[in-house]
Structure 1
């Protein structure tokens, strides 16, 4: 008999490859998960436009996951921090929209500035941080905006995902972030597609790295 899913995951409507470590790969998780794709929730709608018309479809998808018996729900995009409060108040189970929720905790336990690496720096606003009550924490932000392997595979979906090329780009952005902000004490990865490249990042920094998987493991341990 199959185990009931512990965590429910609301997925954007995308088609790119998801290697182990990506939230969309069930092998990433040491416990059973359930997926629910939210139709028409494209990366453009969520990341570029922050389309509020998606709130209701995400709530409907989350309730479908509740009906499957999950104990907590998350999403496949950190930019959904924008809608954390609107979605959470409609649900019976814990809901955490984004890895960005960890920012205040990371600052408290490291005692310094938190570096955030995001899929698209030009779209990440103060409102996203306010959505998860992380807007008062000192942060430094770097984005993958100018990284073609990442952007074209994951945001634009115009090329196949090249893990080696993206790993190099993740190293480059990490080094740029730390060169500009040497007082950063830890890094939070906004994007749920970035964890597969943490080992590459650790080749260029020894700082702690937090992501959607560290948060999910934390929540799973509590429920």
Structure 2
């Protein structure tokens, strides 16, 4: 006999979306075709990119909690968001929802740091180096002196994402990301791996890997891992023998 209690089954990950209008290409967290598994979405009213990154996201905590509860009622077993700056609300949202919560890609930093040899550090590429503070890093469990490089001052990435532009030159964004990767290895030669704070940066992870030669971790790598625990894959209990 199967256990009930949900409305939707098989879509364990719930994604809390910022209120945006910019296009979301394949690889972006907000493009459902990015994922190899079903996900559910809810938009958090009033949570614009600029307000979350350059303002105080803690003023929106109750809105994120309400939308998260709605996703849980719909059948989600874990909740995530679409902005790394929301690490500041991780503890409050986690406590209120009572399920696993991954508000920020920055939460990968301590895990990646643990993988690196002595003398190497994990660096972060962010949508706004100016706005990303030691408090954001600390809230994610990362060292407050983690090396950070932003796409501020680039061609399009920061301007159009935070400006919520209806059209984006994604090739210009790719070049901004490549510039940020090169700046990271130039300014911080002790960096041994990179975590992408912004969830819109995942489509450029492979470019960064090629340019820097370093492992690159994004929200895609994080939520793929997150989902694997919420809905583990079933394996057959027999040997895969070609003679059978």
TM-score class, shorter-chain normalisation, is over 0.9
2: CA distance between counterparts of 1:217 and 1:185?
22
* Aligned counterpart in structure 2 of residue 164 of structure 1, from 143, 162, 171: 171
- Aligned twin of 1:143: 150
Rg bigger for which structure?
Answer: 2
Q: How does 1:106-185 map to 2 (within 5 A)?
A: 106-111=112-117, 112-135=120-143, 139-158=146-165, 160-185=167-192
Is there any run of 5+ residues in structure 1 with no aligned partner, and where? none
* Aligned counterpart in structure 2 of residue 96 of structure 1, from 77, 88, 102: 102
1:68 maps onto 2:74 in alignment: yes
Pairwise CA distance, 1:159: 6.0
2: CA distance between counterparts of 1:184 and 1:80?
24
- Give the alignment's Cα RMSD to 1 decimal: 1.4
1:22 maps onto 2:49 in alignment: no
Of the structure 1 ranges 209-218 and 184-193, higher mean CA displacement relative to structure 2 is found in: 209-218
Pairwise CA distance, 1:51: 3.6
1:218 maps onto 2:225 in alignment: yes
Measured against aligned partners, the alpha-carbon deviations of 1:32-89 in whole angstroms (never above 9, x if no partner) come to 0000000000112110012422000000000001011111110000000011001110
- Aligned twin of 1:194: 201
Query: Is the contact between residue 128 and residue 150 of structure 2 (CA under 8 Å) also seen in structure 1?
Result: yes
Equivalenced residues, count: 221
1: CA distance between counterparts of 2:192 and 2:168?
30
Is there any run of 5+ residues in structure 2 with no aligned partner, and where? 1-7, 231-244
Pairwise CA distance, 1:130: 1.9
TM-score by length of 1: 0.95
- Aligned twin of 1:4: 10
Query: Is the contact between residue 147 and residue 169 of structure 1 (CA under 8 Å) also seen in structure 2?
Result: yes
2: CA distance between counterparts of 1:106 and 1:51?
26
2: CA distance between counterparts of 1:120 and 1:51?
15
Pairwise CA distance, 1:131: 1.4
- Aligned twin of 1:32: 38
TM-score by length of 2: 0.87
1: CA distance between counterparts of 2:142 and 2:42?
27
Query: Is the contact between residue 168 and residue 200 of structure 1 (CA under 8 Å) also seen in structure 2?
Result: no
1: CA distance between counterparts of 2:77 and 2:57?
27
User: 1:74 aligns to what SS in structure 2?
Assistant: strand
Pairwise CA distance, 1:135: 2.9
- Aligned twin of 2:5: none
Query: Is the contact between residue 150 and residue 169 of structure 1 (CA under 8 Å) also seen in structure 2?
Result: yes
